[in-house]
Copies of this chain bind each other. A is one copy, B any other.
Amino acid sequence: MKRTTTKLADGRELIYYDLDDCADRDVLDRRALEPVESQSELRLDRATGDWVAIASHRQGRTHLPPTDACPLCPSGEGRHSEIPTTEYEVVVFENRFPSLAGRVGRCEVVCFTSEHAKSFAELTERRARLVLDAWTDRTEQLASFPGIEQVYCFENRGAEIGVTLAHPHGQVYAFPFVPPRTAKMAAVADTHRAATGRNLFEDLLAEARAATSRVVLAGEHWTAFVPYAARWPYEVHLYPHRRVPDLTRLSEAERAEFPGIYLELLRRFDRLFPRVAPAPQAPTPYISAWHQAPRTGGRELALHLELFTVRRTADKLKYLAGVESGMESFVNDVAPEAAAQRLREVAS
């Protein structure tokens, strides 16, 4: 894998990741861009102890542009996108409309492929491995920045969850604080260690593998299962069998097996719901989230990926209304064992 770091016209960093060690990425961004002025501000919600990012400059961000104006496609004849080259494999750059920027973190965009109409599930294993290597590299580099507490690699897919650019891409947030879900998991895992002497996530993985009714897919190094108390209609957690704190600590064997397992999970998500007339559904919307140990207080946290969809039937979504958004309490209309069975049925 070759990494080439460059700058965009407004000073933002752009990084190419290539399988070919001889890839030439020596193209300048010739746009006349104003420097980014980010007004991100972190505010502590004293009623809950949670940080909130106030980012009012984001109201003007690019919203569902026409395909020929896609800022994530390569540049070409007469048009200049965020990526100066005419093709790329995987590219990462600083978001022009970041939620976190300057002294309060960093937001990056990860383009999974230069092909606009593809999805992650359609990548080859080699190219999916390149994305894994890019996520790993971003984790290592961003974690070394001063003040960064947590590196969060994720993909939002589908207009149903608010995705504003159709081009296949994910994001990396470098948080200057430990986000609430991480903090909660770390605290619960510490309590579990104190009570049992064992690691919580190793126990959850062992129980899921032993019971089998919630296992979706298992390899030599990874197992994907629906959690016992799943919050989402279809939710899968993917763990390496060997506990590691973050992506940088995966072994070569684990890295080699990941693409096949993850691509199969994504393909199964796309087969969950029938696409029938008169309402052929768009591909399954999903959120795919890497949970990693934070810099502070996360000794027990185990690297894992949480993949879930907000779609609960072919034509109905799960909304976060008064119970979820008001009380942070979840109601799930699909039994986890039934979800796991369905996800086994739609295997390739």
Contacts and interface: CB of A to CB of B under 8 A. Distances in A.
Interface of A: 43-56, 58-59, 63, 99, 152, 154-156, 161-163, 171, 173, 175, 179-182, 184-185, 187-189, 192, 200-201, 204, 227-231, 287-289, 306, 308, 312-313, 316-323, 325-336, 338
Contact of A334 (B44, B59, B338): B59
Given A289-B327, A320-B325, A327-B289, A338 B56 contact: yes
Given A59-B333, A179-B328, 14 more contacts: A47-B188, A47-B227, A49-B187, A49-B188, A50-B184, A50-B330, A99-B323, A152-B326, A152-B327, A154-B326, A156-B321, A161-B325, A182-B327, A320-B325
8 contacts: A46-B188, A46-B200, A49-B187, A52-B330, A59-B313, A156-B322, A162-B319, A175-B327
Contacts of A184: 48-50, 328
B320 A229 contact: no
Given A45-B229, A47-B204, A322-B156, A333 B56 contact: yes
B230 A52 contact: yes
A163 B331 contact: no
Contacts of A321: 156, 161-163, 287
Given A59-B333, A181-B48, A338-B56, A43 B323 contact: no
Contacts of A288: 322
B319 A54 contact: no
Q: Specify how many copies of this chain sit in the oligomer.
A: 2
B44 A229 contact: yes
Contact of A322 (B204, B289, B330, B338): B289
A146 B321 CA distance: 27
A327 to B, nearest CB: 4
A227 B43 CA distance: 10
B287 A322 contact: yes
A319 B43 CA distance: 20
A181 B326 contact: yes
A333 B181 CA distance: 21
A163 B312 CA distance: 15
Contacts of A227: 45, 47
The 9 closest A-B pairs by CB, nearest first: A162-B319, A289-B326, A43-B229, A45-B229, A179-B327, A154-B322, A180-B328, A99-B331, A52-B229
Nearest to A58: B333
Given A46-B188, A47-B201, A55 B319 contact: no
